[in-house]
Structure 1
Amino acid sequence: MEQCIKYSYIEQKPIEIIYLSRQGQFSQRKILVKSIDNEHLVAYCFSRKQIRVFSLSQILSASRSTNKRVS
């Protein structure tokens, strides 16, 4: 997962994450990582169309984004 996050930051390519909010709700987000520190990452969230801060401990999975569309 850490490797995928670094990939998005270095290559400036979107990834998809599954995130557990502080309220206990799961969400799947497509993000573009802008910065990373030991506890958080700052990313553009394509779902919310704004910059968001994500706690690294709340990210359950991360994968490279696929742009394939099913017709």
Structure 2
Amino acid sequence: MNGILERAAGEKQNLEMVYMDGKGRMTQRIVRVVAVREETILGYCYWRKQVRSFKRDNILSVYPVEERKGMAL
């Protein structure tokens, strides 16, 4: 997962992330990674429309978003 996160930050690529929120609910989000830290990921969350901090331990899966021509997030 580290490689995907760091590559996404360097290439400004959006990721789809399945994440366990603070209340134990699973959420699925589209995120643009801003910084990869030891315990957290800093990223722009398109769902919340703001930069958020995500605990690495709560990230269940992450994979690149396949962007299609003419489609905006």
Question: TM-score under structure 1 normalisation?
Answer: 0.89
Aligned-pair CA distance for 1:2: 1.7
- Helix, strand or coil at the partner of 1:66: coil
In the aligned structure 2, how far is the partner of 1:44 from the partner of 1:60?
18
Q: Could you say which residue in structure 1 is the equivalent of 2:27?
A: 27
Q: Per-residue deviation at 1:67? A: 2.7
The structure 1 segments of at least 4 consecutive aligned residues displaced by more than 4 Å after TM superposition are none
How many residues are matched? Answer: 69
Q: Which runs of 5+ in 1 are unaligned?
A: none
Structure 1 window deviating more from structure 2 (30-39 vs 2-11): it is 2-11
Aligned twin of 1:64: 64
Deviation of the 1:40 alpha carbon: 0.4
Q: CA RMSD in A?
A: 1.2
**Identity fraction in percent:** 28
| Structure 2: gaps (5+ residues) | none
